[in-house]
Structure 1
């Protein structure tokens, strides 16, 4: 992680201070309390505002006395904690100071996203965090970034063990926003306390966002909800502090229609450089009932960017609700978000988009096949693919067929197709009481139903190279007619497009 000049100066000053000052135990005790004081808004970072909530002070009298004992050192410690929050390199330095490891760790943990980290390193924090103390828990909203029609933020809930995990958050200013949260495992702060951190991403309806911004609001409102209660937290907001992205039109044909007939057209429409990401917009036209996905399989097969120096910019995993790499059939677009952004660097003269593979999926089956449980070997041909069923065994209310794949497809463990029952057959199966009793309590058998998957040994559980099996969960009979549709069908590309 790069260290700027300010970070180096702060580090040097702190090293000198710790070498020359005899720190009393009372001051070390105070240091251990600073994160709690900060979260309860008894201490504020420079330039931050108190949340617009009603609260009562819960600081015991002895802690108030401890603050007075700390005396003139308190101001320096406020700067110290503020530096931890704003400077990742300084926070890394403080990990070597006894007694500060736990507070620093969870403060840093709320900014794991590389795009957000990069923006903060360059001093871009357009919306400051707020905290409130409510019924023995400290709620903090941080890492708040509004870009285009996407809102991201972090909710940290600090409190007694087992009492931090049942809270959610959503942007109350945008009732039709769609999104979700990604909760991490609670982190231990002490023997009795923990902190639960959840990263949220919301897509905001364009009309609601425009109506919100035209009013020149001074706050963002969040609804925090538990099982039995909900309450409101507000964050000071100044839209003039938001940095706008820089969009460039490309209109470069990708030629994907030559790779698969289900793709009728594909082009890079534009790309934009935002403070926390590089967004590449694709125009895609597919045949009806098809979806295209740019981020299945291994991460090494996902799209990425490079600059003229060879630096790599990876596809952002933390991109819901945009579902970076997924096709939006209503608009015919795919948005790819890459990190870190070059918004603050202004260094690359050119970026190149690399597409290694895509995956195609049909939403509705368009072919059928017949399979036998008594005659072997038998060959299945569908969607230009050939598979040979060599044997079958009956197990737990299902058939498991041994499958032989063509030699050229052995390295790809995904078959690219899935077998399904016609709706009327599925209804008949549900009415088969004998079979329902046979599969009772065996939900695991449906995990691979209709899929060709690698074969595994049981002890030890290990994949058998080059061997595959097809699972068909069904009542016992000699033959079946199954619908077939393409599912996550891998299409190699190896395309490299300069973005100018």
Structure 2
């Protein structure tokens, strides 16, 4: 420990004599030679016994130096030079941290901004008792706030995935919704450091993001400790402090916004057009806002899945769909496609092409609602999407579910897969009642061999489908019908001109 302390003093002097960040790479690349030449050897204080294990000391020294350089890399948000990358590969635990940071920066677009010299907000480190927190890689636009948090604490093990305690760092007094999008744990010295990236979507308006960019001078963050009790399904939240991050609003770059008049034709029974409402190009990411149908939920394939959307520029570079984190708060019928990294700094890009392969839609507002009496005469016919659903019988089971028999052959094959029955909302339950209900629900599904409720389950040995709904025993039920998880093929390329 004394050797580490002495080395840190030597490193501090070395850091004081070099410029940051440019010569940090040179210093990092020269560290092995500096050790070999004895330039960073610790000179014992008067009365201190010199180390009798110089080789081991040198290995410890190298690790401590790497940790010190790592802290600088995190703090200043600099990019990796080949010399620096080569140096850190030989340091245990160090390369893992650097790889994590580089990978995340590439994905969230920060690396692209750094490569173009854009790091407008300096990081801040603050200590709360035995907890040290650094906020860095902070990027603010009219729509988004992204940042990374590094947590080192004596209060709990940040590397324990089963821990019941956690630290959250969230924006204060700023209308926004967001969450963490990725996390990793590495080791600095002998202490684990939890590294997290956050993404918040900001509400528009003079008193929020737009106003902050024009006249703001500081971002305020709240630091909270969350302590959970799984047995009681309860989490206690304690505020342990605040962190202020100063910034110069004149250094913040504003978004580039385009409103193309283009739309994709959609071949679907309920839906004819998917319109591109807006393209926002930010320094780190890009957002496309589409206009679909109101009352629907939309889900697009992820980057590594067939039919995933993407943007492609006229140089051939592809920008993948990245739905990690929260979405923008939009009006009903509008949906967001976020894409990782950006063409913000590339003035030579004149056009983007938006590719939309396929989308899965679910009706959130039932189109058809009806009453089903257990005493009525069957069969009962309900019209859905201009086709007949024929209910041939209904039976309540004491285990806690309703079973319907639905005639086969009245719906086309696609609608058979998409149709879902929605039952009545069940009464609110206490914690103990809810736990028992979940055990019962799981037991019912396992016994019936079904993944969920409300779908047409095919029994090949019968002339009818089975539909299962969780329910209480009643004389009649209010039921409704929706299209659920309906796959719609679009497969179109939509050009977006970026020239004024």
Partner of 1:64: none
Q: 1:261 aligns with which of 270, 284, 292?
A: 270
Could you give the per-residue CA deviations for residues 33-57 of structure 1, whole angstroms, max 9, x where no partner exists? 4577689xxx8x5xxxxxxxxxxxx
Partner of 1:275: 283
Secondary structure class of the residue paired with 2:469: strand
Within a 5 Å distance, the mapping from 1:204-353 to structure 2 comes to 204-209=203-208, 210-215=210-215, 217-226=216-225, 227-256=237-266, 259-262=268-271, 266-284=274-292, 286=293, 290-295=295-300, 299-322=305-328, 328-329=331-332, 333-353=334-354
Partner of 2:36: 22
Length-normalised TM-score, structure 2: 0.67
Could you give the per-residue CA deviations for residues 43-93 of structure 1, whole angstroms, max 9, x where no partner exists? 8x5xxxxxxxxxxxxxxxxxxxxxxxxxxxxxxxxxx88788432766643
Q: Is the 8 A contact 1:294 1:359 kept in 2?
A: yes
Secondary structure class of the residue paired with 1:126: coil
Partner of 2:487: 490
Aligned residues: 424
Partner of 1:166: 166
Q: Is the 8 A contact 1:132 1:139 kept in 2?
A: yes
Secondary structure class of the residue paired with 2:180: strand
Matched, 1:32 2:29: no
- CA drift at 1:313: 1.6
- CA drift at 1:272: 3.2
Q: Is the 8 A contact 2:457 2:467 kept in 1?
A: no
Within a 5 Å distance, the mapping from 1:7-18 to structure 2 comes to 18=32
Matched, 1:96 2:89: yes
Q: 2:112 aligns with which of 118, 124, 138?
A: 118
Counterpart-to-counterpart distance in 2, 1:18 and 1:84: 23
Partner of 1:181: 180
Structure 2: state its 5+ residue gaps: 1-20, 42-55, 159-164, 226-236, 460-464
- CA drift at 1:341: 0.8
Closer, same or farther: CA 400–299 of 1 in aligned 2, 3 Å: farther
Q: Is the 8 A contact 1:280 1:336 kept in 2?
A: yes
Structure 1: state its 5+ residue gaps: 1-6, 46-79, 431-435, 457-467
Within a 5 Å distance, the mapping from 1:191-202 to structure 2 comes to 193-202=192-201
Secondary structure class of the residue paired with 2:238: coil
- CA drift at 1:159: 2.2
Q: Is the 8 A contact 1:84 1:104 kept in 2?
A: no
Could you give the per-residue CA deviations for residues 349-405 of structure 1, whole angstroms, max 9, x where no partner exists? 322111222343333323257699xx9999986335788999999795436789979
Closer, same or farther: CA 32–359 of 1 in aligned 2, 3 Å: same
Length-normalised TM-score, structure 1: 0.67
Closer, same or farther: CA 406–32 of 1 in aligned 2, 3 Å: farther
Instruction: Tell me how large the CA RMSD over aligned residues is.
Output: 4.9
Closer, same or farther: CA 378–18 of 1 in aligned 2, 3 Å: farther
Within a 5 Å distance, the mapping from 1:438-449 to structure 2 comes to 441-444=439-442, 445=444, 449=452
